[in-house]
Amino acid sequence: MARGVYIHIPFCHQICNYCDFNKVFFKNQPVDEYIEALGIEMKLWTENKEAFSHIETIFLGGGTPTSLSPTQLSRLLTLIKTYIPMEHVKEFTSEANPDELTKEKLEVLFNGGVNRLSLGVQAFQPELLKKLGRTHSNDDVFETIEEAKKVGFKNISIDLMYGLPGQTMDEWKETLKIAFDLNLPHYSAYSLIVESKTIFYNLMNKGKLSLPGEDQEADMYEELMQQMETHGWHQYEISNFAKEGHSSIHNRIYWDNDEYAGFGAGAHGYVNGTRYSNHAPLKKYISTLEAGERPILKTHEVTQSEKIEEELFLGLRKTAGISKSHFKEKFGCTIESVYSEKLQMLVSAGLISNDEEAVKLTKKGRFVGNEVFEEFLL
């Protein structure tokens, strides 16, 4: 049974140099046709009442959802409320660019049921923002947050990045200080990963991308964790920090290895034990739905051993780790019966803790999380 819904909006007015998500420039794109196609896809999926009877979260991602006009946003939200049962929805998030959120768009989102904003801020230094391909200013961030609060938004998060080209520790400390001064309920902070098919990847291959070394990046992560703790934000996942009661419910669905539907071009979902991905090209996505068919490119029925693997490498991202009682209830066996030697080895290395209630990363383990996760691939 799906707990959440992800809806992909692939349009952007500006393409960021580090982004590898499915996206296109907004201009001359079939935006209105795409929104109507989303409505068709939602209708087709949610006809399965049993699988979609208890949706807890909805997440608008991209691309950039706020690249849409107020009229287009309103139409999208109307379609969502038409086809997705809203009675159990606790959290309705929209990603946004600070320089695109007008008062009118904020009002459309809020009145349409969105109760959480996730702003792509990344840094507070103009030179770093320029390197990233971001077009907003610090004033855009401050004014948008203030306007969002006036409209009625209380749950606002911002994304930050470290390990950026040419970024110094002093700049990272300055970014954190400014972020804390905003006193928001939630922060996400990610190290830069240079993905293929991005501008940064091409620059790196040409030797034109100067990145901080691994030691400096680790120091930045240490600074992040220390400062968040000092200022009262609880780390509940490797890259996420929140005040009490404000952790992201939607992202917890992923880390809990629970099911969710993905709607839109290139979107991924996990429903009824099957992972699937949609066609990414807009024309293919739209034409398939106009023909009355689901736009699925490929599916994979997840095996029991794969579910156990995913439970470990997703669940260990949470600072609470993996509940042993929940694991046994879910899979009918103990973690030790599957991973006894791996657990002993990682405990000895100081990378995980293993007590009667849970298996979790230690602080040392958070620095090399991906290496730990790989140990649990069967």
In the structure, what pLDDT confidence band is assigned to residue 50 with cuts at 50, 70 and 90?
Answer: confident
Q: Give the orientation angle of helix 103-111 with respect to helix 70-83, to 10 degrees.
A: 10
Q: What percentage of the chain carries pLDDT values higher than 70?
A: 100
In the structure, what pLDDT confidence band is assigned to residue 348 with cuts at 50, 70 and 90?
Answer: very high
In the structure, what pLDDT confidence band is assigned to residue 4 with cuts at 50, 70 and 90?
Answer: very high
Closest CA to 109 of 61, 163, 79, 73: 73
**Phi then psi dihedrals of residue 237, to 5 deg:** -155, 165
Tell me what the mean pLDDT of segment 223-239 comes to: 97
Cα 157 to its chain centre, rounded Å, is 12
In the structure, what pLDDT confidence band is assigned to residue 328 with cuts at 50, 70 and 90?
Answer: very high
pLDDT in tens, 107-122: 999 999 999 999 999 9
DSSP state, residue 125: -
- Contact (Cβ atoms closer than 8 angstroms) between residue 338 and residue 308: yes
Alpha-carbon distance of 38 to 163, in angstroms, equals 36
| CATH class in words for 2-254 | alpha beta
Place of tokens 């830069």: 192
- Contact (Cβ atoms closer than 8 angstroms) between residue 48 and residue 81: no
For the cut 80, the answer to whether the pLDDT of residue 20 exceeds it is: no
Cβ partners under 8 Å of residue 154, min gap 6: 115, 185
Q: What is the mean pLDDT of the chain?
A: 95
**Phi then psi dihedrals of residue 321, to 5 deg:** 75, -150
In the structure, what pLDDT confidence band is assigned to residue 308 with cuts at 50, 70 and 90?
Answer: very high
What pTM did the predictor assign?
A: 0.95
**Phi then psi dihedrals of residue 131, to 5 deg:** -60, -35
Q: Give the orientation angle of helix 31-46 with respect to helix 70-83, to 10 degrees.
A: 10
Cross-strand pairs, 160: 122, 189
H/E run at residue 307 = helix 304-315
pLDDT in tens, 352-364: 999 999 999 999 9
Alpha-carbon distance of 358 to 372, in angstroms, equals 16
Q: What does the domain layout of the chain look like in residue ranges?
A: 2-254, 323-374
Residue 259 is encoded by which pair of tokens? 């099911």
pLDDT in tens, 134-192: 999 999 999 999 999 999 999 999 999 999 999 999 999 999 999 999 999 999 999 99
Place of tokens 């086809």: 83
Report the length, in residues, of the chain.
378
Comparing 21-25, 192-196, 307-311, 315-319, the range with the smallest average pLDDT is 21-25
Alpha-carbon distance of 283 to 199, in angstroms, equals 24
Place of tokens 């290496």: 371
**Phi then psi dihedrals of residue 6, to 5 deg:** -110, 130
For the cut 90, the answer to whether the pLDDT of residue 292 exceeds it is: yes
Sort 4 into a burial class: Cβ within 10 Å, 0-12 / 13-18 / 19+: buried
| 3-class secondary structure, 270 | strand
Sort 231 into a burial class: Cβ within 10 Å, 0-12 / 13-18 / 19+: middle
Question: Could you tell me the end-to-end alpha-carbon distance of the chain, in angstroms, rounded to an integer?
Answer: 26
**How much is the pLDDT for 26?**
86
**How much is the pLDDT for 242?**
98
Residue, of 49 and 288, whose pLDDT is higher: 288
Alpha-carbon distance of 159 to 72, in angstroms, equals 25
Alpha-carbon distance of 249 to 245, in angstroms, equals 10
**How much is the pLDDT for 37?**
98
In the structure, what pLDDT confidence band is assigned to residue 15 with cuts at 50, 70 and 90?
Answer: confident
Does the N-terminal peptide bond of residue 112 adopt cis geometry, omega within 30 degrees of 0?
no
For the cut 90, the answer to whether the pLDDT of residue 24 exceeds it is: no
Considering Cα of 219, then 238, then 325, then 309, what sign does the dihedral take? negative
Comparing 17-21, 100-104, 202-206, 355-359, the range with the smallest average pLDDT is 17-21
Task: Write the CA distances from 163 to 168, 170, 192, 302, integer angstroms.
Answer: 9, 12, 6, 35
For the cut 90, the answer to whether the pLDDT of residue 375 exceeds it is: yes
In the structure, what pLDDT confidence band is assigned to residue 22 with cuts at 50, 70 and 90?
Answer: confident
